[in-house]
């Protein structure tokens, strides 16, 4: 996987299954124009997992929704390119996108209880997803397929479970069912939007393992959207860190976790409990709140929350930093500070805290 | 389900008994005697006493109440000014104004109210829910604004205002619509519908407005639900998403409100009945209150209460059918 | 005597309360306000030929069609012995014939003639104590059985039942010669087999014998008290819903509170009837239609409503629409037998000058305007429809009253008086207006609205705390004998249920009441008029407000009708449907 700042579209891997170039998503509202995503470029190959990390409002979920073409075209302005299996879906007709949805690209949502329809049986909901892309399949075939999928995701007594309603499932079981539904059409790309956030820790691990197993089996590309770097470190191959609708740092999971370059990434890492570090070290949350997407701070969007803003004169407050190579190949960061300064600050202020070793 | 039903039926009977007692007591709290309105012009105190005796008003209240209750279950004998009458169960009493068992008054006026309400309901459920759903799907468009504007307008209109204007416009001035009147549907369905048209339109429009706003709000809320997004993410066509996934969920609370409304309306739509000169159960009740005609007051209050209680039970059961998460117990 | 039932005009009852009583219909279709006051010419027919059928044909009238009465509330009663309210009295003329009846020409000429009887009554000994009535031949009930004097006697006997007593009480009280008329004889159910006091039946004659002279017997038996009832078909309490017809129409179907369908009675013989033409084939009464709706429908002239009419005053909201010149022939307007009063409680307001000042400062003009203009200016106790009526104003302050003169009369002091009235929007408006114009005369009214349901109960109880009391009265027949004794005989004041709301008890008035009451009808008339003036000039116990007007409308295809001088509504006797 490769990422780069716009307009470096050539940095996108031309063989990747999903290629996103300079994606911009804007919602005109009464209060002003919401720039939910403001120039994102990335790609994912089949069999690979991309973690998109950021707080809520960073644009990660909007990005994933755009890949499914779920935004209402009447109320959303989308520019750039989203190429799925070689087809650009930006500007594509709804009927065509609809045929891709659920078949080529599928999605798993954060809260399986609200994401599943409360009035329909689980089996029927899965069968419906199968049938819409296999119109010639009989109802019985669709049902059989649904039960198979439930079995595949590790739900015991799938035949019986298929006849139950979502509220009769436990949280983990529901997410398994959700995954079964997403995978029922063997999609090439699976987007998982915070799939484990609503689950307790032990179940989290099981679900992540399940996703990894299934990825191996189906050889699908996965986009894992999360605010949890722990999850990213467990499953991702590459990572895209977003802030205020823009990418602030990209790289391999190893680069991002071990040698993070952006103060925001540092902040994210500092707010995650380390499995290996010093338990006595306090967690440090990032001060302040995510910015308004209507009224981004001028210059670097992160400047109000950045301890180091002002290190380079006025630049942080006047100039939007571009995503630039951060030393190692594939590692890019959007920060006005020089590579050396970042290295020094990381070594002095962050690394000794022992996070994410 | 059975346990639920038994429990609710018990609760319902308790409610009805309580309501009947309260009505009874309220009636006797009124400082004037119904005899005054019943004995006509030559009211000497002696005659008032006579009339009160024949109405059974000289009996203690609890005796009068138990007589009333006894009438409902086993029937009773009533002395109407020297004429002995058998009032068979269910005897809701004997109306001394119309010289008949109250059940006759009810069976005569209830079909009128029923006709008004059921017809109006068809109008406001189809028009109201239809418009509301469409407006929700076309949220923010000119259609949506127009529909919401119109519904605010109609919802803030009173039955007597709108009814009066429609009467003036379509009956008195242009003669486009027939005069509101009641013909039994069994006798002449066309005349029945013709005579009910204006009440249906009036009650229908006003409630359509309420239902349009309600269903629009419900639908907009439902369209933002995660499961609707899931349905779309599955690749379902927009129509399937709307109908099978969104509508089904959005309609549930509307069914509840419609059911409760129906229960309320069946007890009488006094203003509509009055505006269109239809002698439904609501008008009968208002008249009875005016005349201090206790048996009719009791009967209409109890019937109104019965419909409300019954519809509540039905709605709860319906809810359980629609929403598998609801368990009755 | 009938109390103007206005006090009870809460909702549904309102229509039944509309004025009954005589009215002059002098073709005054000009839209209210300017009807002429003509002196009532009602007399008792002396020529038996006038009692013979058939009724004089109406020019241009045709038979057939159905007329439709749009009515607010179900009739209080249909049982002839219980009927007393004007709308029921008016409908009863078509199914309940009486010994005598009013023959009218619509031009103000009203004559009391024999209806079932061959004449208006035979004063056997010339002392008004024995009255004899002979029934005509060929009279039949709707089922074909002949109507006999026994049936008339049976009808009268029913009116004695102690559980009933909703109808007029004149005949019963005269026959029993006491106010509590049913203490001994209690009617055919409770005193089965006992003779009816004072009544004798021989063949086809019925004779009434009274202890005292009762010169107005011919009027008293014009009320449905004297209507025949076949004992074999008496359904007692249920008779009220479907009485057996002796008139030209009978009830085919009666859905209580909904409608009544009257059809022709095949056994009615026009040749026995000097009063009714019976042109329409049917009469349909529809209930639950307010005067406003009814008037609107008639003005709208929809085909179905072209043969409709109302027996209620057109409400103010619809009045302007009925004042178009082309609509004039569909309006029937005129004065009623009712006069609107403010009774002055003379047990509380003892100062005659205050009473006079109240009369002098009375602004009738603004009150009539406030009510829409269908009523008439008047300051007498009697309505102009009563025989012998003389117009005068004992305290003439002009149409708008004379506050200055009133002030002088009070000698500069201000007076505070409580004014009781039934609480309703209209009454509140009128009371506020009265407070306004009386204030100019230095009279401060304290307005005390009372519960309409118990209004007469309250103000009819002696010793209540109100100085002024709203009220009204209408005569049962065109004679002041049904007005003055009821309102001004102080010897009848009791603890409760008083009609003498001025609580006046003056020996001079009482004596005059006795003297005039014993005179023959023709002689009594001018004497009543003199008493009217004397009471007002000497005692001023009342402020007469105005003569209550009637203002009714009918559909464009109805002809031949006029405001009846007997019961105040448009008559059905000569009504016909235009082809």
* Inter-CA distances, A91 with A16, A29, B313, C158, C572, Å: 21, 21, 51, 94, 82
Cβ-Cβ contacts under 8 Å, B161 against chain C: none
Cα(C430)–Cα(C428) distance, integer angstroms: 5
**Is pLDDT above 50 for C29?**
no
- Mean pLDDT, range A304-319, rounded to an integer: 82
Pairing mode of beta strands C376-377, C100-104: unpaired
Q: What DSSP string runs through C479-542? A: SGGGTHHHHH-GGG--SSS-S-TT----HHHHHHHHHHHTS-HHHHHHHHHHHHHHIIIII--E
Q: Is A318 exposed, middle or buried (0-12, 13-18, 19+ CB in 10 A)?
A: exposed
**What mean pLDDT is reported for chain B?**
86
Higher pLDDT among residues A1 and C27, named by residue: A1
The residue whose two tokens read 């309580």 is B18
Interfacial B residues in 199-258 facing C (CB < 8 Å) = none
Q: Quick check: A279 pLDDT over 80?
A: no
pLDDT at A5 over 80: no
* Residues of chain C neighbouring B116 (CB-CB closer than 8 A): none
- Asked if the C-beta of A117 comes within 8 angstroms of chain B's C-beta atoms, the answer is yes
pLDDT in tens, B236-263: 998 999 989 999 899 888 988 999 999 9
Using the beta-carbon criterion (under 8 Å), do B37 and C290 form an inter-chain contact?
A: no
- To the nearest whole Å, the CA of C237 is away from the closest chain B CA by 6
Is the dihedral angle over the CA atoms B167, B171, B176, B178 positive or is it negative? positive
Could you read off the pLDDT of C472-486 as tens digits, one per residue? 888 888 889 989 998
Measured between alpha carbons, how far is C385 from C373 in angstroms, rounded to an integer?
A: 19
A308 pLDDT more than 70: yes
Interface of B with C in 99-158 (CB under 8 A): 99-100, 104-105, 108-109
pLDDT greater than 70 at residue A142:
yes
- Give the pLDDT band of residue C440 (cuts 50, 70, 90): very high
Question: C-alpha distances in angstroms, A323 versus A42, A347, C428?
Answer: 12, 22, 84
Q: Is the pLDDT of residue B95 over 70?
A: yes
Give the burial class of C235: count Cβ atoms within 10 A of its Cβ; 0-12 exposed, 13-18 middle, 19 or more buried: middle
The answer to whether residue C176 scores a pLDDT higher than 90 is: yes
Q: Which pTM was predicted?
A: 0.77
Show the tokens assigned to B132: 């509301």
pLDDT (average), residues A99-117: 90
pLDDT score recorded for residue A274: 57
- What is the band of B38 on the pLDDT scale with cuts at 50, 70, 90? low
Q: Which of C39-43, C105-109, C405-409 has the weakest average pLDDT?
A: C39-43
Q: Is the bond preceding residue B90 a cis peptide, omega within 30 degrees?
A: yes
CA dist C177 to C24, C200, C209, C567, Å? 34, 16, 10, 27
- Nearest to residue A120, comparing CAs of A171, A184, A174, A163? A163
Q: In what order do the strands lie in the sheet with C122-123?
A: C122-123, C130-134, C205-209, C199-202
**C-beta atoms of A70 and B323 within 8 A:** no
Mean pLDDT computed over A112-138: 93
Quick check: C238 and B99 CB within 8 A? yes
The three-state secondary structure class of C543 is strand
Task: Tell me the longest C-alpha to C-alpha distance in chain B.
Answer: 85
At residue A353, the pLDDT reads: 54
Question: Lowest mean pLDDT: which of A313-327, C53-67, C371-385?
Answer: A313-327
Q: Does the pLDDT value for residue B86 go beyond 60? A: yes
Query: Measured on CA atoms in the order A258, A260, A266, A272, is the torsion positive or negative?
Result: negative
Residue C221 has pLDDT above 90, yes or no: yes
B80 touches chain C (CB under 8 A): yes
Confidence of residue B153 (pLDDT cuts 50, 70, 90): confident
Q: Nearest to residue C293, comparing CAs of C312, C276, C265, C306?
A: C312
Average pLDDT over residues B123-135: 91
Q: Are C512 and C531 in contact (CB under 8 A)?
A: yes
Q: Which of B227, B241, B253 to mutate against chain A (most A CBs within 10 Å)?
A: B227
Alpha-carbon gap, residue C240 to B99, rounded angstroms: 8
Among the ranges given (A195-199, A273-277, B296-300, B314-318), the one the predictor scored with the smallest mean pLDDT: A273-277
Mean pLDDT in residue range C327-341:
91
Name the token pair of C558.
């109805």
Considering only CB atoms, which chain A residues are within 8 Å of B324? 118-119, 165, 167
Q: How many residues does chain C have?
A: 579
**Residue C408 pLDDT > 50, yes or no?**
yes
Burial of B215 (0-12, 13-18, 19+ CB in 10 A): buried
Q: Provide CB contacts within 8 A for A297, sequence distance 6+.
A: A291, A303, A304, A317
- Res. B148 pLDDT band, cuts 50 70 90: confident
Above 90 in pLDDT, residue B316?
no
- Taking the C-alpha atoms of residue B240 and residue A98, their distance in angstroms, rounded to an integer, is 12
pLDDT of A10 strictly over 50: no
Report in angstroms the alpha-carbon separations of A317 from A298, A301, A306, A321: 6, 8, 11, 10
Percentage of residues of chain C with pLDDT beyond 90: 68
Computed from CA positions of residues A275, A277, A283, A285, in that sequence, does the dihedral angle turn out positive or negative?
Answer: negative
Which of the residues B101, B160, B279, B300 would you substitute to probe the C interface, choosing the one with the greatest number of C C-beta atoms within 10 Å? B279
Chains B and A are touching, with contact defined as 3 or more CB–CB pairs separated by less than 8 Å: yes
CB of B137 closer than 8 Å to CB of B242:
yes
Q: Which two tokens stand for residue C3?
A: 């109390």
- Residue C6 to residue C455: CA distance in whole angstroms: 10
Q: Residue C431, SS3?
A: helix
Report the percent of chain A where pLDDT is more than 90.
41
| Higher-confidence position of C237 and A245 | A245
pLDDT grade, residue B32 (50/70/90)?
A: low
**pLDDT of C71-122, one tens digit each?**
988 898 899 999 988 899 999 999 999 999 999 888 878 889 999 999 999 9
Give the pLDDT of residue C344: 97
Q: Is residue A1 predicted with pLDDT exceeding 50?
A: no
Determine which of B79-83, B268-272, C163-167 has the lowest per-residue pLDDT on average.
B79-83
| pLDDT value at residue B77 | 82
Give the residue with greater pLDDT, B122 vs B76: B122
Residue B42 pLDDT > 70: no
pLDDT above 80 for B78: no
CA–CA gap between residue A116 and residue B231 (Å, rounded): 9
Express as a percent the part of chain B with pLDDT over 90: 35
Burial classification of residue C448, based on how many CB atoms lie within 10 Å of its CB (0-12 exposed, 13-18 middle, 19 or more buried): middle
Q: Region C285-312: what's the mean pLDDT?
A: 93
Inter-chain contact B233–A106, Cβ cutoff 8 Å? yes
Q: Which pLDDT score is estimated for C280?
A: 97
In chain C, what percentage of residues exceed pLDDT 70?
93
CA–CA distance, B176 with B180 (Å, rounded to integer)? 12
pLDDT classification of A144: cutoffs 50, 70, 90: very high
Average pLDDT value for residue range C541-545: 97
pLDDT of residue C18: 28
Instruction: Provide mean pLDDT across the span C288-293.
Output: 90
Q: Looking at residue B40, what is its pLDDT?
A: 55
pLDDT at C24 over 70: no
The C-alpha angle with vertex C474 and arms to C471 and C479, in degrees rounded to 5, equals: 140
Which residue, among B29, B35, B41, B288, would best test binding to C if mutated, counting the most C CBs under 10 Å from its CB? B41
DSSP secondary structure of C35-81: --------EE---GGGG-SSPPPPTT-----EEEEEESS--S--STT
For residue C560, what are its two tokens? Answer: 């031949």
Report the gap between the CA of C119 and the closest CA in chain B (Å).
30
Residues in CB range of C303: below 8 A, 6 or more apart = none
């Amino acid at each position: 996987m490769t990422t780069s700042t716009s307009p470096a579209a050539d940095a996108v891997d031309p063989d990747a299954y999903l290629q996103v170039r300079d994606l911009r998503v804007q919602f005109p509202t009464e209060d002003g124009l919401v720039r939910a995503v403001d120039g994102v470029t990335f790609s994912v190959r089949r069999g690979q997992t991309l973690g998109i990390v950021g707080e809520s409002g960073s644009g990660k979920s909007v990005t994933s929704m755009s890949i499914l073409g779920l935004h209402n075209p009447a109320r959303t302005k989308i520019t750039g390119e989203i190429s799925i299996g070689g087809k650009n879906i930006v500007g594509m007709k709804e009927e065509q996108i609809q045929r891709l949805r659920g078949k080529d690209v599928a999605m798993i949502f954060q809260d399986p209880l609200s994401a599943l329809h409360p009035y329909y049986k689980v089996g029927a909901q899965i069968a419906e997803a199968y049938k819409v892309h296999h119109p010639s399949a009989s109802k019985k075939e669709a049902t059989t397929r649904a039960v198979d999928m439930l079995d595949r995701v590790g739900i015991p007594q799938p035949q019986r479970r298929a006849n139950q309603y979502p509220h009769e499932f436990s949280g983990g079981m529901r997410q398994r069912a959700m995954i079964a539904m997403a995978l029922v059409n063997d999609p090439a790309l699976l987007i998982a939007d915070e799939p484990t956030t609503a689950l307790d820790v032990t179940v989290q691990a099981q679900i992540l393992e399940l996703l990894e197993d299934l990825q191996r089996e189906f050889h699908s590309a996965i986009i894992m959207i999360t605010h949890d770097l722990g999850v990213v470190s467990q499953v991702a191959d590459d990572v895209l860190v977003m802030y205020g609708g823009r990418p602030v740092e990209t790289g391999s999971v190893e680069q991002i976790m071990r040698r993070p370059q952006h103060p925001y990434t540092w902040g994210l890492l500092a707010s995650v409990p380390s499995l290996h570090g010093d338990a006595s070290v306090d967690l440090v949350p990032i001060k302040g709140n995510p910015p308004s997407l209507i009224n981004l701070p001028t210059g670097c969007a992160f400047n109000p929350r950045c301890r180091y803003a002002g290190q380079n004169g006025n630049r942080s407050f006047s100039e939007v930093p571009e995503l630039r190579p951060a030393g190692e190949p594939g590692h890019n960061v959007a920060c006005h500070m020089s590579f050396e300064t970042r290295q020094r600050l990381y070594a002095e202020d962050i690394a000794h805290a022992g996070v994410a070793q | 389900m059975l346990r639920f039903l038994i429990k609710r039926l018990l609760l319902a009977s308790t409610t009805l008994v309580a309501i009947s007692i309260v009505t009874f007591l309220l009636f006797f709290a009124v400082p004037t005697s119904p005899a005054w309105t019943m004995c006509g012009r030559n009211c000497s105190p002696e005659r008032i006493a006579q009339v009160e005796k024949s109405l059974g008003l000289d009996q203690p209240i609890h005796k009068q109440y138990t007589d009333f209750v006894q009438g409902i279950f086993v029937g009773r004998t009533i002395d109407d000014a020297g004429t002995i009458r058998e009032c068979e169960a269910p005897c809701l009493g004997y109306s001394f104004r119309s010289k008949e068992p109250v059940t006759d008054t009810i069976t005569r006026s209830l079909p009128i109210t029923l006709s008004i309400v059921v017809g109006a309901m068809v109008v406001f459920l189809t028009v109201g829910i239809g418009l509301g759903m469409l407006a929700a799907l076309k949220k923010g468009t000119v259609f949506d604004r127009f529909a919401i504007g119109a519904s605010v307008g109609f919802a803030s209109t009173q039955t007597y205002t709108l009814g009066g204007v429609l009467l003036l416009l379509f009956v008195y001035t242009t003669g486009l619509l027939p005069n509101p009147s009641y013909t039994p549907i069994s006798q002449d369905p066309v005349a029945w519908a013709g005579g009910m048209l204006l009440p249906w339109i009036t009650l229908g429009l006003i409630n359509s407005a309420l239902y349009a706003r309600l269903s629009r709000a419900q639908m907009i809320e439902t369209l933002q639900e995660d499961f609707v997004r899931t349905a779309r993410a599955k690749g379902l066509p927009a129509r399937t998403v709307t109908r099978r996934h969104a509508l089904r969920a959005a309609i549930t609370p509307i069914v509840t409100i419609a059911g409760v409304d129906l229960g309320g309306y069946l007890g009488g739509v006094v203003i509509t009945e009055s505006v269109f000169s239809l002698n439904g159960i609501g008008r009968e009740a208002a008249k009875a209150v005016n005349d201090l005609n206790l048996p009719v007051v009791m009967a209409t209050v109890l019937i109104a209460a019965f419909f409300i209680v019954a519809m509540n039970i039905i709605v709860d059961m319906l809810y359980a059918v629609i929403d598998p998460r609801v368990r009755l117990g | 005597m009938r109390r103007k039932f206005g006090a009870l005009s809460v909702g549904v009852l309102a229509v039944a309360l509309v004025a009954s009583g005589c009215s002059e219909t002098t073709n005054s279709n000009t839209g209210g306000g300017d009807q002429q006051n003509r002196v009532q010419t009602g007399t008792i027919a002396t020529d038996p030929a006038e009692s013979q059928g058939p009724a004089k044909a109406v020019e241009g009238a045709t038979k057939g069609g159905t007329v439709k009465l749009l009515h607010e509330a179900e009739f209080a009663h249909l049982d002839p012995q219980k009927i007393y309210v004007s709308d029921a009295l008016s409908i009863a003329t078509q199914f309940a014939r009486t010994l005598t009846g009013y023959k009218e020409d619509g031009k103000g000429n009203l004559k009391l003639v024999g209806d079932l009887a061959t004449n208006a009554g035979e004063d056997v000994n010339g002392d008004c104590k024995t009255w004899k009535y002979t029934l005509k031949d060929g009279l039949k009930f709707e089922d074909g059985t002949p109507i006999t004097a026994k049936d008339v006697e049976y009808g009268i006997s029913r009116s004695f039942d102690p559980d009933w007593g909703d109808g007029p009480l004149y005949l019963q009280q005269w026959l029993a010669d006491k106010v509590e008329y049913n203490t001994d004889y209690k009617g055919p159910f409770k005193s089965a087999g006992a003779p009816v006091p004072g009544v004798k039946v021989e063949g086809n004659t019925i004779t009434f014998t009274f202890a005292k002279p009762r010169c107005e017997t011919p009027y008293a038996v014009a009320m449905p008290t004297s209507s025949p009832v076949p004992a074999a078909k008496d359904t007692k309490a249920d008779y009220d819903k479907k009485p057996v017809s002796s008139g030209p129409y009978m009830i085919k179907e009666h859905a209580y509170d909904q409608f009544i369908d009257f059809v022709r009675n095949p056994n009615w013989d026009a040749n026995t009837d000097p009063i009714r033409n019976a042109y329409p084939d049917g009469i349909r009464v529809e209930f639950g239609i307010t005067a406003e709706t009814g008037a609107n429908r008639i003005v709208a002239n929809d085909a179905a409503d072209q043969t409709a009419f109302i027996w209620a005053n057109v409400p103010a909201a619809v009045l302007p629409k009925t004042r178009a010149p082309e609509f004039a022939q569909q309006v029937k307007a005129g004065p009623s037998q009712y006069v609107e009063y403010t009774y002055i409680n003379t047990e509380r307001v003892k100062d005659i000058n205050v009473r006079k000042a109240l009369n002098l400062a009375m602004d009738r003009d603004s009150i009539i305007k406030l009510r829409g203009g269908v009523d008439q200016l008047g300051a007498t106790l009697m309505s102009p429809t009563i025989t012998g009526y003389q117009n005068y104003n004992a305290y003439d302050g002009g149409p708008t009253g004379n506050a200055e003169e009133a002030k002088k009369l009070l000698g500069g002091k201000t007076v505070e008086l409580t004014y009781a009235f039934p609480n309703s929007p209209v009454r509140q408006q009128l009371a506020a207006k009265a407070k306004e114009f009386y204030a100019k005369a230095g009279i401060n009214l304290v307005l005390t609205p009372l519960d309409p349901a118990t209004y007469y109960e309250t103000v009819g109880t002696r010793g209540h705390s109100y100085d002024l009391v709203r009220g009204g009265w209408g005569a049962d027949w065109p004679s002041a004998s049904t007005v003055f004794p009821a309102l001004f005989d102080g010897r009848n004041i009791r603890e409760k249920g008083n009609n003498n709301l001025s609580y006046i008890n003056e020996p001079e008035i009482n004596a005059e009441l006795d003297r005039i009451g014993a005179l023959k009808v023709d002689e009594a008339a001018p004497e009543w008029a003199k008493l009217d003036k004397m009471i007002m000039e000497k005692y001023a116990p009342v402020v007469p407000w105005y003569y209550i007007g009637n203002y009714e409308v009918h559909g464009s295809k109805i002809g031949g009708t006029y405001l009846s001088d007997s019961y105040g509504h448009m008559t059905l006797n000569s009504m016909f449907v235009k082809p």
